[in-house]
Amino acid sequence: MTEALRAAKVSKSFGRFQALKDVDLVVMQGERRAIIGPNGAGKSTLFNVIAGQFPPSSGAIYLAGRPTTGLRPDQMWSHGLTRTFQRNQLFQGLSVWDNVALACAATRDGHRGSDAARRRASEEKSAEILRRVHLLDHARTIVRNLAYGAQRQLELALALAGEPNILLLDEPTAGMSPAETEAMLALMSVLSRDITLLIVEHDMDVVFSIADSITVLHLGEVLAAGTPQEIRNNEKVVEVYMGRRHHP
């Protein structure tokens, strides 16, 4: 198994506030890794550093063994990393189809051949992605008219349009009803293992359902890392974050 992502001694400060301190993280290709922790633990900051939104104050980021520290988000995208956000980043006035078609038009490799061939390939790809996230029947719906859960599914579709090797999902089920959460979990569960998943998520039922391994952040540092069962049984994690509800 090869290494997909490494964060080596990553720290990030905002003025005098240190959001991350010497965070080490290694994610293998095809792995489903969850990042959990209390509010203010540094989860979103770590995501933003990995994705290129923020440069680290110190330390380094590597994708597939290649140094990517300091690259912009669009450059990270060209290296095969895409992400979703806590809040939808969608064109609310456009149709579901147009949102995905725009994302497909900007894929890393593009389409070769005549204009007609490229257009046909893009349309086929758009249809396939919408089929994968169960939104093909809503292709002509204006995004603002979609239910919230369907908008989150559409954001996943846009991330998949980037043909990622690594996909960062920032609280993918936040604000969802139980039925919407179940639908999103089902979509994540059937994603190809060609795609490595790094997930920030507060719903521990979702975390324990999908994660192969879990890293716990607390006050900007790694508190613990291990399998879901190891994290369930870790007394420090139970004390600072999960509480007794998820402890055997």
* pLDDT reported for residue 114: 66
* pLDDT reported for residue 142: 97
Residues 103 and 116 in one domain: yes
Number of structural domains (the chain) is 2
- Residue 95 DSSP label: B
* pLDDT reported for residue 120: 83
User: Can you list the positions of beta strands (E) in 98-175?
Assistant: 166-170
The tokens describing 229, both together, are: 């069962």
Let me know if residue 113 belongs to a domain: yes
* pLDDT reported for residue 117: 75
Residue 238 sits in a domain whose CATH number is 3.40.50.300
* pLDDT reported for residue 108: 52
Let me know if residue 12 belongs to a domain: no
Q: Do the beta carbons of residue 185 and residue 154 sit within 8 Å?
A: no
* Distance between CA atoms of residues 114 and 39, nearest Å: 51
What is the tens place of the pLDDT at every residue in 101-123?
998 887 655 555 667 777 788 88
Residues 207 and 179 in one domain: yes
CB atoms within 10 A of CB 160: 24
Residues 96 and 159 in one domain: yes
* pLDDT reported for residue 219: 95
* pLDDT reported for residue 244: 47
* Distance between CA atoms of residues 188 and 182, nearest Å: 10
Let me know if residue 85 belongs to a domain: no
* Distance between CA atoms of residues 122 and 100, nearest Å: 10
Residues 74 and 100 in one domain: no
Residues 50 and 116 in one domain: no
Residues 152 and 188 in one domain: no
Structural domain harbouring 151: 92-163
* pLDDT reported for residue 242: 65
179 SS3 class? helix
Q: Which stretches in the chain have pLDDT values below 50?
A: 244-245, 247-248
Let me know if residue 148 belongs to a domain: yes
**Residue where a domain stops, chosen among 135, 163, 191:** 163
Residues 234 and 169 in one domain: yes
Q: Do the beta carbons of residue 99 and residue 154 sit within 8 Å?
A: yes
User: Can you list the positions of beta strands (E) in 131-205?
Assistant: 166-170, 196-200
Residues 138 and 233 in one domain: no
Let me know if residue 198 belongs to a domain: yes
The tokens describing 169, both together, are: 């999902």
Residues 191 and 213 in one domain: yes
Let me know if residue 142 belongs to a domain: yes
Residues 186 and 72 in one domain: yes
Residue 48: C-alpha distances to residues 17, 83, 212 (Å):
16, 10, 22
Q: φ, ψ for residue 127 (rounded to 5)?
A: -65, -40
Residues 35 and 137 in one domain: no
Residues 241 and 125 in one domain: no
